Amino acid sequence: MLHDTCGSAPVQEAGQSPLCPLQAALATRPCVESYDEFSRVALSLFRFIGAAYATGASDCWEAAYRFADEAPGIADSPLLVARAAALVRILRSGRPCELCFMPPSCRRLSKDEAELMRLLAVARSKQPGELESVVCQFVGNENEIATTRAVNALALC
């Protein structure tokens, strides 16, 4: 599949069947399996925490703590959940709309989840100045310092 000069719409190559817009969008999003174990754990925690905020159900919080307790290689699971929750809370406060989280069992990532995974990957790579740039692209100048601190804290768990 080729893109037009604007990059806005895919152009079909000869012999290819056209994708519906949803299939095209999903095809460009990363899959859960493309991340390492720590990132997959963090993603699941984001999803449980997002579900807790969306539904108000305390079961979602319990599921997040249980999931972190059972995840391999996590030394301090309550701290990990707290840091993931702090990041979600900071991001929710500075946005005009809700963050979009997929269900915990989903293999695809929403646009917001893909950005969170990008933030986490950059923080874990420890490239000076790069995280601030990526955070600014995601949240703008609002909450930039708090978001950067929260992502760094989560990345160090």
Over residues 84-90, mean pLDDT: 95
What letter does residue 95 receive in the DSSP assignment?
Answer: -
**Which residue matches tokens 């919080």?**
61
pLDDT given for residue 60 in this prediction? 96
Can you give the residue ranges of every domain in the chain?
Answer: 1-30, 34-155
1-26: burial string, b at 16+ Cβ within 10 Å, e else: eeeeeeeeebeeeeeeeeeeeeeeee
Ordered alpha helix ranges (H), 34-107: 37-55, 58-70, 77-93
Smallest CA-to-CA distance from 157 within 36, 74, 101, 61 is with 74
For the whole model, what pTM was predicted? 0.77
pLDDT tens sequence across 18-56: 656 655 555 555 676 777 899 999 999 999 999 999 999
